[in-house]
Amino acid sequence: MTSIELLADALAAHRAGDRDQAAELAAQAGRAGSSLAAELRTYLAGDGSAPVYDQPSAFTAFIRGGGNVALYRALSAALASRYDAAKPESLLDLGCGDGLAVVPALEQASHLPPRIDLVEPSAALLEGVHERVPSAQCWQSTAQDFLARDDLGWDFVQSTFALQSIEPEQRGEVLRALQRRTGTLVLAEFDVPEFAEGSPEHLRSLVERYERGVAEYGDDARLVAQGFLLPVLLGIVDGQQRTNWEHPAAGWVEQLKTAGFTEVGVEPLADYWWSPAVLITAC
């Protein structure tokens, strides 16, 4: 068996609750030369209980390395272009992280919105954003809790690879709240392939893509894999401590239209190891 087949079987074993079998299959795949396999075996040897964002150093290394460098360069440039074209008076970024997308976009744009709201549930990621955008109001909150208040509206709302972290049912409520209070909504998301979850095709695709992802990080591969990539991967596989619910671009379009947005468009943003990144505009 190839390392990809062995790792797909390891994920299937993990999904079935057989951690020992998953570790053994990962060990076999490691002997076949898989970097992902070595990281998976190490991860399974621990307790695997820490939430993803409890290790901000791992997320920071992930988001500021590998293919994310080119991805976020393209994303910030695209957002800056949108600010200059639309000249919004108010801007909301839901799930701004540490400002990796929005800060360079504001620095590149000729137009600076007079009112900027930045929302991020992680205090560790939000810290420091206000220093870089002193005119912004920073809110440590989930999108759901922040939008529960009904006294604010925005000309331009963006969310970059963040709404995928909200379960689909709750996300529908977020999108409906945004539709009532937003001029233009721009989402950056991944146009992921569609498989039946847990199917052999799905698990093999996950292995192939994650193998590419781990390989991009060189000396930081262990930190990124152990502190971020593997918790996300295994959350997708077994549904426990899951942090991401992604869809093909067509699925995002459908959700936005269901929420009441009438004009929705999709355009390519950048190639990426996980899946092609796209910009989705709704109004």
Domain residue spans in the chain?
3-49+197-238, 70-192+246-282
Place of tokens 């290394």: 61
Nearest of 166, 228, 188 to residue 105 by alpha carbon: 188
Q: Which two tokens stand for residue 78?
A: 């695209």
Residue 130: the pLDDT is: 83
In this prediction, residue 39 carries a pLDDT of 95
Residue 274 CB partners (closer than 8 Å, separation 6+) = 190, 192, 209, 213
Show contacts of 178-183: CB within 8 Å, 24+ apart. Answer: 178/147, 178/259, 179/259, 179/260, 179/261, 179/282, 180/260, 181/150, 181/152, 181/153, 181/154, 182/92, 182/153, 182/154, 182/156, 182/157, 182/283, 183/86, 183/88, 183/154, 183/155, 183/156, 183/283
Structure tokens at 153: 């509206």
pLDDT computed for residue 57 by the predictor: 85
- The structure tokens 């930190």 sit at 223
pLDDT at residue 265, rounded to an integer: 98
Averages of pLDDT over runs of 10 residues in the chain (283 residues) are 95 96 95 92 77 69 95 98 98 95 97 97 85 92 93 96 94 96 98 95 97 96 95 91 91 98 98 98 97
Nearest to 36 by CA among 12, 61, 3: 3
What pLDDT score was predicted for residue 176?
97
- Total-model pTM: 0.91
d(CA 235, CA 103): 30
CATH topology of domain 70-192+246-282: Rossmann fold (3.40.50)
How far is CA 274 from each of CA 94, 153, 257, 271, 277, rounded to the nearest angstrom?
22, 33, 26, 9, 9
Residue type, 30: G
The confidence score (pLDDT) of residue 51 equals: 53
Which DSSP letter does residue 244 get? -
- State residue 142's pLDDT score: 96
